Amino acid sequence: MAVGEDTRALVVYGPGSDRYDFGLLHPLTPRRFGPGIGLLRAYGADRFLAPEPASDAELARLHEPAYVEVVRRISADPDGPPERGIGPGDDPAFAGMHEAAATVAGGSLAGMRAILTGEAVHAFHPGGGLHHALAGRASGFCVYNDVALAVALARDAGHRVLYVDMDVHHGDGVQALFWNDPAVLTCSLHETGETLFPGTGRVEERGGPGAEGRAVNVPLQPGTGDASWLAALETVVPALAEAFRPTMLVTQHGCDSHLLDPLAHLRLTTAAYRRAAAVVDEVAHRWCERRWLATGGGGYDVYRVVPRAWALVWLAQAHREPPLETPLEWRARWEDEAVRWHQAPMPEVFLDASDLAGPESPAITAANARIVERAVAGFRARPG
């Protein structure tokens, strides 16, 4: 690899990225791409790959062909009856749904192909990470499971894949799709399913027959802050990598665990996201010959949180330190829109103040430490 190539980490984004759109008031909005991609460009991102729709054959690697046909039918006639999780609620039908969702899937597949062919060692698909979609059903804002399809592509190429999910919601779809596969290790750090969708992700969920210990879950307490979330990440992820010896790293960086996010109950700051990206980058370099596909995932504070969280992933992949302040021009560009959507003011600093969330309670810290101990013990109890 040429000197300096890592500074041109590949970003999967293009005209098709903003077509995945459930409607004006839906939390997962394509409005995030304006400030999000704008901030990446402000810091030097200049290597972009426009996603193209995944083919039906590519989708069928993990999704039931009958389900793909349902999505196609609803895509052409969104006023029809609800079916397969698509309808009123989390996944409302919209015209062009299949093409839009297939483009998200195609984006993560394209990022993975770039890594497999040596075109890139690090790739970031901010619009990807739709980790709840199941083989035959939409769920949790997710129609096709793009990140799982990328994992499968690497798995089929002979890689041992470590998948690390940092979204506040359990990565249930990815876990389910690789439940019986000993060559894929799924690790999810999330708010406990006792208080948050999708209600899964208990420590006891450890993988299917022949793949026991290949699912690792760290369900954290509501109110968790940077301290014990980072303690969990730094304890679990490097230990899993050392034991599993992956040759490919795939990550999901949902930033809905942030204090300002409206849909969950963790209290993280962007300082935690900076450290998390550094930890997984270290894993990629130590075990995976730098091969690392990152995806965006959830995040519903579009102006104050999502852009900085995405930029921290890209900066880690480019091996650059985050600046102290966000660009004045960027703030000015998006301030009026942030006010209109009640997510103002635009953040002046890149890393949140250490006291933004306040101290974590000792009870939460102790409960999370017990969860981490059980999660690691479950992995160590896996078959050889």
Q: What pLDDT is attached to residue 75?
A: 98
Q: What pLDDT is attached to residue 6?
A: 44
SS3 of the chain: the string is: CCCCHHHHCEEECCHHHHHCCCCCCCCCCHHHHHHHHHHHHHCCCCCEECCCCCCHHHHCCCCCHHHHHHHHHHHHCCCCCCECCECCCCCCCCCCHHHHHHHHHHHHHHHHHHHHCCCCCEEEECCCCCCCCECCECECCECCCHHHHHHHHHHHCCCCEEEEECCCCCCHHHHHHCCCCCCEEEEEEEECCCCCCCCCCCCCCCCCCCCCCCEEEEEECCCCEHHHHHHHHHHHHHHHHHHHCCCEEEEECCCCCECCCCCCCCEECHHHHHHHHHHHHHHHHHHCCCCEEEECCCCCCCCCCHHHHHHHHHHHHHCCCCCCECCHHHHHHHHHHHHHCCCCCCCCECCCCCCCCCCCCHHHHHHHHHHHHHHHHHHHCCCC
Say if pTM beats, i.e. exceeds, 0.85: yes
The active-site residue out of 122, 125, 132, 169 is 132
Q: What pLDDT is attached to residue 382?
A: 59
- Taking only the tens of pLDDT, the chain with its 384 residues reads 333 444 479 999 999 999 999 999 999 999 999 999 999 999 999 999 999 999 999 999 999 999 999 999 999 999 999 999 999 999 999 999 999 999 999 999 999 999 999 999 999 999 999 999 999 999 999 999 999 999 999 999 999 999 999 999 999 999 999 999 999 999 999 999 999 999 999 999 999 999 999 999 999 999 999 999 999 999 999 999 999 999 999 999 999 999 999 999 999 999 999 999 999 999 999 999 999 999 999 999 999 999 999 999 999 999 999 999 999 999 999 999 999 999 999 999 999 998 898 899 999 999 999 999 999 987 776 544
Q: Pairing between strand 248-252 and 122-125?
A: unpaired
Q: What pLDDT is attached to residue 375?
A: 94
Q: What pLDDT is attached to residue 2?
A: 38
- Looking at domain 7-50+102-380, its CATH class is alpha beta
Q: What pLDDT is attached to residue 4?
A: 41
Write the CA distances from 366 to 73, 255, 276, integer angstroms.
50, 24, 21
Residue 26 falls in the annotated catalytic set = no
